[in-house]
Structures are given as structure tokens and as C-alpha cells.
Amino acid sequence: MPKHRVPQEEDCYPQSVQILDFFHAVEKIGSYAAIQYPDNCERDKWMNLQKEQLRNNEAAKIIEQLKLSISRNKDAEKARTDAIRYYENNLTRMQYKTYLEKGYLIGSGAIEAAHRNVVQQRLKLSGQRWSATGAQQIVNLRACKKSSQWNTVINLIKSAA
């Protein structure tokens, strides 16, 4: 019996641009820096350099620098290894300079707010139970309504009648 494969974003939205939240990327190396650099001044200087490199599409450079660094203890080593893995897994989603030049947002705050407004507000009402298909259909309708595209839905309904 074939194992069920969960669709990925690129399967459902092949034209989409996937962007890793800039602040999550900073947070990941910040966890390492907090252990590796106990001196606040030294840590701030190191973090500012990493942020500058991230903003200039140089995440690969950060990975190489992390690989060459020597951790001060086991906790720092674990945080360093986690940061390297995280950056390698998300490298294609960390082209922040390019994204900003194209006018894209590099933080997820606006998307998270839209998710609360469009999705959760409707799907999490008291007593609601949804199948994946039903939930997706409601989300599609809510997205049309919230993006002032309701006339498209009305026209589709009229043409189907």
C-alpha cells in the first residue's frame, strides 16, 4: 500500500515565492550567539555582522563561518550545529536583499495577522468541525471576500447555474 505524501507548498503553489521569516533566521543564530558569546558587546557586534550578511544574500557565508568556528562548550556546539542545519535547509528561502528589492515582506507578521483574520476567525468558531476539503473551500471563499474579489465568486456561481 503506497504511503500518503503530504503536499508541499511548491506542489500547491508552484508560482509562490517562499521566504523564511528574517527574524526567525536571526533568532536561530541568536540562540548560538547567546551561548558562544557571553559578553554582550561581543555578542551584539557578532549578531550585527550576521544580520548585515543576511540582508545582503550572504546566508551561505554565515554557514561557512559557523562551520569553521570552534564552540566554547557542548551547549554552544549543539546550537551551532542546529543553526547550520537550519540555514542549510532554508538557504533558498533566505535571499532577503532580493526579496526587499522586489518589494516583498521578509517578516511573517502580516501573514500571521491575515491568517488570524481570514482563517482562524472563521474556522475556530464554537462547535465547528471541518474536513480538510471543507476547510480549504471556506478559506478560499474567505480569501476572496477579504481581498475584495467576491464578485468573482458571484460570477462563477451565476455561470454555473
Structure confidence at residue 144 (pLDDT): 77
Orientation of helix 74-90 relative to helix 59-68, angle to 10°: 150
Question: 52 burial class (0-12, 13-18, 19+ CB within 10 angstroms)?
Answer: exposed
pLDDT of residue 72: 95
Q: For each of the chain's 161 residues, which pLDDT tens digit applies?
A: 556 665 566 667 778 889 999 999 999 999 999 999 999 999 999 999 999 999 999 999 999 999 999 999 999 999 999 999 999 999 999 999 999 999 998 987 777 776 676 677 777 777 778 788 887 887 777 777 777 888 887 888 888 87
pLDDT at 85: 98
Q: What are phi and psi of 87, to 5 degrees?
A: -70, -40
Q: For residue 137, what pLDDT is reported?
A: 81
- Determine the Cα–Cα distance for residues 161 and 154; give it in Å rounded to an integer: 11
**CB distance 46 to 53 below 8 Å:** no
How crowded is residue 59: how many other Cβ atoms within 10 Å of its Cβ? 23
pLDDT for the residue numbered 112: 73
Q: What's the pLDDT score for residue 10?
A: 65
Can you give the pLDDT at residue 118? Answer: 65
Q: Say what the pLDDT of residue 114 is.
A: 67
